[in-house]
Amino acid sequence: MITTEPVITVKNMVKKFGTFVANDNLNFEVYKGEIFGFIGANGAGKTTAIRILCGLSTPTSGEMKVAGFDIYRQTEKIKQNIGYMSQKFSLYEDLTINENIRFFGGIYGMKIGERKARTIEMLERLELKEFANRKIGDLPLGWKQKLAFSIAILHNPRIVFLDEPTGGVDPITRRQFWNLIYEAVEKGITVFVTTHYMDEAEYCDRVSIMADGRIVALDTPEKLKKQYDAANMDEVFLKIAR
């Protein structure tokens, strides 16, 4: 259900750290219901951009709207409408799966009944029901990543931001992870994802390729492959990077 109704609008986004320019005049829109990929090498500025859109970092200049709210003045309203999964695993390892869910559901102000129903649904989907009272620190990385994603969308946000969500997990788990993403999209959640795995770029509806803080290409994977006369996104990326 991809529309052309923008849920994220970015105009002239600039972020400088001292003299270093991490985001150099970014312009793009993300449409409601799509999977929008941010592709680029390490240090290209993907994480900086995602952190600004989530309200974790202030941009140097530019106009940005997320879920219809202004990034400077309505940060807290944005936060009610987004989910975020950071590069660094950040659920509480000393709490159990249930306790983490209860806490995050609680601080998003979810109703108890709704939270309980969604918890059951989620644990069944992830086949983690019998591990509900295990501490998260004891679980394998792949499970943790899937849990982190599921908890990030527990409160049913309009947009979920995923910063390299599949870093360090095996190909099978990555595939399962992407199935979870598709299911979220079906529920109407817009997905903003950064990655440096080029096969994952193929799964996105549209990708923007970043290099040195700038967007150097932005289109659907099919059109990019055609434009650069490449068999896959890996080739596209290598041609652009060169």
Partner 1 sequence: MRILFYILQKEFTQIFRNRSMLPIIFVMPLVQMLILVFAATNELRQVDLAIVDYDHSYSSRDMVAGIVGNPFFKVQKLLANSQEAEELLMRNKIDLALVIPRHFDKDLNMNKSAEVQVLVDAINGNAAQLSLSYLSSVIGSFSQKVLINPIKPEFRQTKNIVIKPSYWFNPQLNYKYYMAPGILVVLITVVGMLLGGMNLVREKELGTIEQINVTPLKKWQFIAGKLLPFLVIGLFDLAFGLLVAKLAFNIPVRGSLVLLFSLASVYLVLVLSWGLFISTISDTQQQATFVSFFSLIVFIMMSGLFTPVESMPDWAQKIDFINPLFYFVKIMRSVLLKGSNFADIFNEFAALSAFAVSMFGLAIFRYRKTS
Torsion sign (Cα): 167, 172, 173, 178: positive
Choice from 90, 179, 220, 232 touching partner 1 (CB under 8 A):
90
Please state, in angstroms and rounded to a whole number, the distance separating the CA atoms of residues 74 and 183. 29
By CB under 8 A, tell whether 113 contacts partner 1: no
The residue count for binding partner 1 (CB under 8 A) is 30
Q: In this structure, what token pair is assigned to residue 126?
A: 């992830």
Shortest spacing between CB 138 and partner 1, in angstroms: 13
**Alpha carbon distance 104, 156 (integer Å):** 12
Does residue number 82 form part of the binding site for partner 1 (CB under 8 A)?
yes
Among 2, 5, 106, 182, binds partner 1 (CB under 8 A): 106
Q: Which CB, 151 or 209, lies closer to partner 1?
A: 151
Which span (85-93, 119-127, 169-177, 223-231) binds partner 1, by CB under 8 A? 85-93
Residue selected from 28, 31, 103, 197 as contacting partner 1 according to rule CB under 8 A: 103
Contact region for partner 1 (CB under 8 A) — 20-28, 74-82, 116-124, 172-180?
74-82
Closest among 227, 182, 191 to 37, alpha carbons compared: 191
> What are the Cα distances from residue 81, in Å, to 75, 133, 189?
10, 28, 10
Identify which of residues 84 and 237 has a Cβ nearer to partner 1 in the complex. Answer: 84
Which one, 28 or 103, has the nearer CB to partner 1?
103
Comparing CB distances to partner 1, the nearer of 106 and 188 is 106
Phi, psi of 231, rounded to the nearest 5 degrees: -80, -30
Q: Is residue 76 at the binding interface for partner 1, with CB under 8 A as the rule?
A: yes
What's the half-sphere exposure (Cβ side, CA atoms, 13 Å) at 10?
A: 21
Binding part of the chain for partner 1, among 34-42, 81-89, 177-185, 189-197 by CB under 8 A, reads 81-89
Which positions from 172 through 201 interact with partner 1, judged by CB under 8 A? none
3-class state of residue 215 by DSSP: strand
* CA 138, chain centre distance (Å): 25
User: Least separation, in Å, of the C-beta of 48 and partner 1?
Assistant: 11
14 belongs to the binding site for partner 1 (CB under 8 A)? no
Q: Are 6 and 53 in contact (CB under 8 A)?
A: no
Amino acid at 153: I
Binding to partner 1 (CB under 8 A) within 43-62 occurs at 54-58
Distance between start and end Cα atoms, the chain: 35
What is the rounded CA–CA span in Å between residue 78 and residue 95?
A: 27
Report the interface residues with partner 1, using CB under 8 A: 54-58, 75-77, 79-80, 82-84, 86, 88-95, 99, 102-104, 106-109
